[in-house]
Each structure stands twice: as structure tokens, then as C-alpha cells.
Structure 1
Amino acid sequence: MTATPIFALRTDVSMTMISFDNTENAFAYKSDKELKQSKFLFSTMDYPLFVPIGTRITPFLMKTGLPINGIIKNTIFKQFVGGETLQETAEVATNLSKYGVDVILDYGVEGKEGEDNFEHATEEFIKVIKYAATQKNIPFISIKVSGFARHGLLQTLNEAPRLRSGIHDHEEEQAEWDKVCDRMYRICEAAAEHNIGVLVDAEESWFQDPVDRLTIEMMEEFNKSKPIVYNTIQLYRHDRLQFLELSYKIAKQRNFVLGVKLVRGAYMEKERKRANEKGYQSPIQPTKEASDADYNTAIKFCIDNIDNTAFIVASHNEDSNLLAVNLLETKGLSLKHPHVHFSQLYGMSDHITFNLAKAGCSVSKYLPFGPIRDVIPYLMRRAQENSSVSGQTGRELSLIKKELSRRKTA
């Protein structure tokens, strides 16, 4: 399928009167004090050198043992993370529920390798699933396969030639891979038992192939009657629209519901740098416009095949969210269709999340939690993402200022 130009998919007027400029809805859940704290953080992040320097020295300072935990917890951690424990996170989730916003829970610990750590992460994921099942507004949890699989193993399997059966031709790693598959199965089995969706995060392109294959296997096992397992499609890669179509064909052939979370992507600079260093074609789209076009085409594809596709519009792009709403309404589909969900990261794009919720959409905040030291890699990515997306920090800041001004005159 050739990507449809973005302008061909956009509609001039939203049928549902959603305004992403409505800051009263966007920040109703924040007190004046909290809003001023957010203003300070985004104002600081808006300085050109703050994020590049901060993301380099913060992990170092954490390792030195200097007493900076309090500073981090009361600033960037508070903005983007639910808490250090499930109990702390529950308070945030309860507050969001008052405004019709669900939660995607993410145990945000990354980068710890070793069999003991892999088993611990697996048990934590299962623990989070069981907790989510006790809450009315936590329909999903998020997992990373690299959280319970060795990076080197994933890369080896990604690069290895495959036999006709599709199995990778590396017998010496088979026992280790079997353990990874068993962990994934246990997580998905618990999710199916408790009716909680599992969103499998995307990885770097040199890890992604075995993750895709394993996730499709889990869909075939657990998505027979309803979506439980969702793969993540990064549309800033030029090959992912085609992969989405292939995944749909597999789902139809094997008789399961395809579950996908549509994102633009999170590893752009790292991907381009590695491709340049190793001399292969970058998997990243040549332009932002190409990424936008594929993303919007993916939304249209999922809605056109909604009977057998469950999808999450995980985007901070206003046009893409409005497009999804408009297409649903054009087809006479409910904004709360069981196969459609919207999501944004906690601490970002409240103007999208809360206005979608007000309009009657099923929408959630992606809410990570975990000890400060363990969540630092996630926080550094959030800071980099805000600074790398053109105008993102400025947009957040202008909306916060607008709401503070409105409250003064209200």
C-alpha cells in the first residue's frame, strides 16, 4: 500500500466539537500550585542547553550518591511518573478517573539484565496485572520484552537466518529463548485471566523482529475472542505500515483479533546514528511529513478493518487524534467502540487527553511507576522527546500560561 498524503485524509471540520485549546478541561485536575510547578518545569526545559546537559549529568549525579532525589522527585519525576510504588500511583489514577481518564500502567524499570532480574521483572508485571484488575480505570498495562530478555539475545535472533519453520537457526540460544517465551506466556496468561490488555512496547529496530514474532504468537494464543495482547507499531519507520498490513493478514488467516498500538516512535536519533555508523539504510522516515502520512494511513486502515482490529491511537499529534474521531463518526461508529482507544503520556498533552475524555472518547494516560533510580532512563527519554519534537515544550508552556491567566480572571 502506498502511503496516502496526509492532506487527503484530514477533514476540515471535526463533527464532534472538540477544541484542544480548551485549557479549563485540560487542567481541571491540577491545582494552581501544581500548574505553577508544571510551568516552572517546562520553562526550564525550554532553555536550549538544559535538556542536552541535564540528560547527561543527571544519571551521573544519581550514581554519585549526592542528595538530589528530592529535587528530581518534586520536579521531572512528579510531572511524568505516577509514583515510586503502586500505592503512590493509585492516588494519581484515582484522580484521573474523576475526569473520565483511564490509565495504562507501566512498571518503568529498564536495563537490568540477568536471569534473577528477568524473573523479578516478570513477577512485577504479573503483580501489576492483578492490581489493575481491581481498579475500574486501568484497562491496560505496558511491558517491554527487553525487560525480561537479554539484549544480546534479541539482537542475535534479529540478525540470525531463519529456517523454513520460521525458527531462528541458533540452537545454542534456544534454551535461553524458551525462558523468554515462557515469561511472555505467563504474563499474557495472567492478563487474559484478569481481562487486562498487555501493550508490548516497541524496541530498537535491531531487537524488534523477535519481539514482533513472539507478540504475534501470543495474539494467536490469547486474542481469539477479544483483544488482550497488542503490538506497538512505530510509524516513523518507513516499513511499519507494510508490517501493519502483514500483521492484519496473519490475524485473518489464523483467526485472531489483531491488537496494535500506533505510535510515531521513540528512538529516532539512536536509529539514525547506528545506521550511519554501520553503513546501512536508516529505517527512519525521510521526513516528518512522511511519518505523519503513514501514521494517519494506519489509523484509516485500522478503522476500515475495525471488526478484526483493536487499536490505540497513542499520539500527541492533534491532527491525528481529530482524524480518528472524524473517521469514527463518519462511519457511524461509537467513540467508545471497544476496539478503539486513545492515549497520551502522563505529564504531556493534557489538552488532548482531557478534551477527548470530555467528548466521550475512551482515553488514557500512560502512567509509569518505579523507584527514582530505576526510572531515570525513562525520564531522560521524556525530556529528550519534548525537546526533539518541534514546538512541543513551547506548546505545553503556552497552554499552561493560558490556563493560569484564565483562572486569575475567572
Structure 2
Amino acid sequence: MVSKSLFDNTKTAFSLKTDSELERAYFLFKMISKEPLVRIGTAATKFALNLHLPVEGLIRSTVFDHFCGGVNEKDCMPVVDNLMSAQVYSVLDYSVEGKETEAQFDATMEKVIELTRFAKNKDAMPFSVFKPTGFGRFKLWQKITEKDPLTSNEEQEWGRIKERYDKVCKVAHECNISLLIDGEESWIQDAADDLCETMMEKYNKEQPIVFNTLQCYRWDRLSYLKAAHEKAKEKGYKLGFKVVRGAYMEKENDRAEENGYKTPICESKKATDDNFNAVMNYILDNLEDISLFLGTHNEASSYLAMEIMDAKGLLKRDNRIWFGQLYGMSDHISYNLAAEGFNVAKYIPFGPVKDVMPYLIRRAEENTSVAGQTSRELTLLKREKERRKI
């Protein structure tokens, strides 16, 4: 049985950080803990980048290097190798957001294919990843989800999105690399779910190659999971799910209020936690059909997952169960889990500094809004700084 003080071990948690990296992490989380500073900092950063002011060096040496692996995949390799020395695997995430043109969508697809082929020969990288809106326009995903009729040009555009999906999934299948497809806002997610299920039916016959994402702050995700499971059993394919709490809560609630419909978000933090744990439980009860990538920074859910695995007699290295956290966050969970022998992967965003800024701003805002997350990081970083002085 795993000790309930596992995540308090700061020596293991920060073993890869130099003293200066530890100081930088403490400084960054201290800044992120102050909401007015985050608001001012993000506004000033956007302003400076839009005016092409020379701030990329400053961003690169602070927030970028803490939360990102580099500006390109070659840049990320020292990070990947460093993590592997602690038995932590890597998911390289090309985190360029907000693109709108067909050429940009094709370029993102080619990058994902390139990374997937690269991962085939790199044991430290068992996953590839992409975001649905990286392959097609947000507004088109929305029209399809809302079942609005498409113009003939949009029909062709949708055909190209399906082709991009199929090309990437085919390469992942050929390379035997698991492909994680990220979650989106609820008003475009149905179209993404349907297309993902089509890919699962085609490429997950023997094992789960294609993984969808369940954002468990949505109260309907357990029923969706159960329906998807029934469909997969009928049609004879495996499921893979990345299970997370979710990334768009304020936006979801605001839109529901503005448009006068019931919010898709759980009524409370506890309801979200209960939903997340119920989804996790269901998958762990059905591992013969469904594989799990548990994307969580929540200590209680991580302990619960370990307890369930222990009660079921599951191996820590069972390849159907992975724990995942974001690079630069929750090292006390990632590295201590890995040291215990569990499968652990870090999501490592990369890309040109300016293009990755929307991702970084979201990270800062999320850390500010998640109660307890930043204060826990600060407490552990401070404890490790004190431990090293002894």
C-alpha cells in the first residue's frame, strides 16, 4: 500500500531541479498566486508581443522555460532525456493555438505526423497528441455540433479535417504510438467526439491507439463514457480516454448564462471531484475494453487511483494505466509516482514563444483560479529550498 505522505517527498519531487531552477519556480508561482499581477502581466505581455517589442528573451528565460520544453522538438530533447532519467515519460505537445487557415492546419498535421514517427524510435515518448481545433476552424466544429447545414465549401473543408484525422491516426497505428486527442469547449465537442469515435472504430481493433478526452467538470461525461463503451463492445473495438477535470469552466458558465441554457458544468468543486472519480472508477473496472490516461494534478484522485489499483491487484506498470501532469506543475505528484514504479508522463508544450503565449497565459490564469494549487506548489518549493540549506 502506498503511503499517504508520498507526495510530501520534496527531495524526489525536485531532484531534477538545480538551485537556480528551484528559485525560478518559487518566484513564478509567487507571482501567479497574485491575481492582479497575472492580469497586468498577461495584458502587458500581449501588448509587448503585438508591438514586436524585444521581450521574447525575458519570457523565454522565465515562464516559457519553466512550462515549455523549447521552441522546437530538437530543443526539447534534453528535457525529454532528463525526465527519462527519473523514469518519467514525455508527451511532446505542439502548443500553437488560434490558427485559421488551411495551410496552418496542414502544417500542424504534418508536425504531429513528424513527432509521431519520431516517437516510434524514442522509448521515452510513448504518446503523440493534438487538439481538434489544430486541424480545423472552431466555427466549423461548432456548426457541425449544432447540426447547422454546411455550405458546399464547408462540406469540402470538413472533408479535409476528416482526412487530417485519418492520416494522423493511420501513422500512429503504424508506429504503435498512442494518440491523445485533447478536449474542447462543449459547443464544439460533440463533433470532435463523433469523429474520434470513427477513428477508434477504424484503428482501435486490437488495442487502443486513439484516445479521446473526457472533461469531468461536465456532468454528462460518465453517461457519455458508458454509451461509448456499449457502442465499442457492439462494434468490436477498444477505447482509450484521457480523463481530466477540464480547462474552460468560466467560459462555459458565462456562455450558458448568456444564451439561457443549463450549464454543462458540475454545480460544485465536490461534484466535479465525485464525477472525475466515478469516471476513473468505471474505466478501472473495465480495463479489458478501456485504457486510461489519468491527467490530474489532484492528490486525492491520484491516491484513490493507486488504492483501486492495489485493491484490484493491478501491476503498477500495467500499460493500460498512465498518470499524466503538465510540465512545470505538480512535480511532487509526477516524480514520486514514477519513483514508486507507476507509469507517468509529462505533457511538454513547445513551439515559437509568441505562438505558445495563449497556452502560457491559460496556465497562469488556471493556477490563479484553482484554489490551493499554487499555495501547495509554493509550500513544497519552500520546504525543498530549506531542506537543501541543511
Q: Distance in 2 between matches of 1:245 and 1:56?
A: 42
Q: SS state of the match for residue 29, structure 1? A: coil
1:237 matched to 2:218: yes
Q: Distance in 2 between matches of 1:160 and 1:56?
A: 36
Match of 2:30 in 1: 43
1:343 matched to 2:324: yes
Match of 2:310 in 1: 329
CA distances 1:89-147 after superposition (whole Å, capped 9, x unpaired): 11100000000000111111111111111111111110111111121111111101111
| Deviation (angstroms), 1:371 | 0.3
Q: Indicate conservation of the 8 Å contact 2:316/2:341, yes or no.
A: yes
Q: Distance in 2 between matches of 1:260 and 1:46?
A: 31
1:53 matched to 2:40: yes
| Equivalent residue for 1:183, pick from 143, 149, 164 | 164
Q: Distance in 1 between matches of 2:101 and 2:71?
A: 23
Q: Indicate conservation of the 8 Å contact 2:34/2:368, yes or no.
A: no
AA aligned to 1:30 is K
Match of 2:355 in 1: 374
Matches within 5 A, 1:201-216: 201-216=182-197
Matches within 5 A, 1:159-178: 159-160=146-147, 170=150, 172=152, 173-178=154-159
1:31 matched to 2:18: yes
Q: Distance in 1 between matches of 2:229 and 2:213?
A: 13
Q: SS state of the match for residue 212, structure 2? A: strand
With normalisation by structure 1, the TM-score equals 0.93
Q: Distance in 1 between matches of 2:92 and 2:386?
A: 33
CA distances 1:22-43 after superposition (whole Å, capped 9, x unpaired): 0001000111111111111111
Q: SS state of the match for residue 35, structure 2? A: coil
CA distances 1:30-76 after superposition (whole Å, capped 9, x unpaired): 11111111111111212231112222332221111111101110111
Q: CA RMSD in A?
A: 1.1
With normalisation by structure 2, the TM-score equals 0.98
CA distances 1:234-267 after superposition (whole Å, capped 9, x unpaired): 0001111111111111111111111000000000
| Deviation (angstroms), 1:16 | 2.0
Q: Distance in 2 between matches of 1:288 and 1:46?
A: 20
1:21 matched to 2:3: no
Match of 1:356 in 2: 337
Q: SS state of the match for residue 201, structure 2? A: helix
Q: Indicate conservation of the 8 Å contact 2:128/2:177, yes or no.
A: yes
Q: Distance in 1 between matches of 2:96 and 2:267?
A: 32
CA distances 1:369-389 after superposition (whole Å, capped 9, x unpaired): 100011001001100110110
1:103 matched to 2:84: no
Percent identity between the two aligned chains? 44
AA aligned to 1:193 is E
Relative to 1, partners in 2 of residues 1:48 and 1:117: Cα closer, same or farther, differing over 3 Å? closer
Match of 1:4 in 2: none
Q: SS state of the match for residue 21, structure 2? A: helix
| Equivalent residue for 2:293, pick from 300, 307, 312 | 312
AA aligned to 1:38 is A
Q: Distance in 1 between matches of 2:291 and 2:202?
A: 16
Q: Distance in 2 between matches of 1:265 and 1:361?
A: 23
Q: Distance in 1 between matches of 2:39 and 2:220?
A: 30
Q: Which moved more, 1:366-375 or 1:57-66?
A: 57-66
Q: Distance in 1 between matches of 2:41 and 2:177?
A: 36
AA aligned to 1:91 is P
AA aligned to 1:272 is N
1:295 matched to 2:276: yes
1:124 matched to 2:111: yes
Q: Indicate conservation of the 8 Å contact 2:242/2:295, yes or no.
A: yes
Match of 2:145 in 1: 158
Q: SS state of the match for residue 313, structure 1? A: strand
| Deviation (angstroms), 1:171 | 6.0
Match of 1:83 in 2: 70
Q: Indicate conservation of the 8 Å contact 2:33/2:367, yes or no.
A: no
1:221 matched to 2:208: no
Matches within 5 A, 1:268-287: 268-287=249-268
Structure 2: any 5+ residue segments left out of the alignment? none
| Paired positions, count | 388
Q: SS state of the match for residue 348, structure 1? A: coil
Match of 1:164 in 2: none
Match of 1:10 in 2: none
1:398 matched to 2:385: no
Q: Distance in 2 between matches of 1:34 and 1:171?
A: 52
Match of 1:246 in 2: 227
Q: Distance in 2 between matches of 1:220 and 1:372?
A: 37
CA distances 1:165-214 after superposition (whole Å, capped 9, x unpaired): xxxx5463322111100000000111111111111000111110110000
Q: Distance in 2 between matches of 1:59 and 1:198?
A: 32
Q: Distance in 2 between matches of 1:323 and 1:190?
A: 35
Q: SS state of the match for residue 105, structure 1? A: strand
Q: Distance in 1 between matches of 2:291 and 2:377?
A: 30
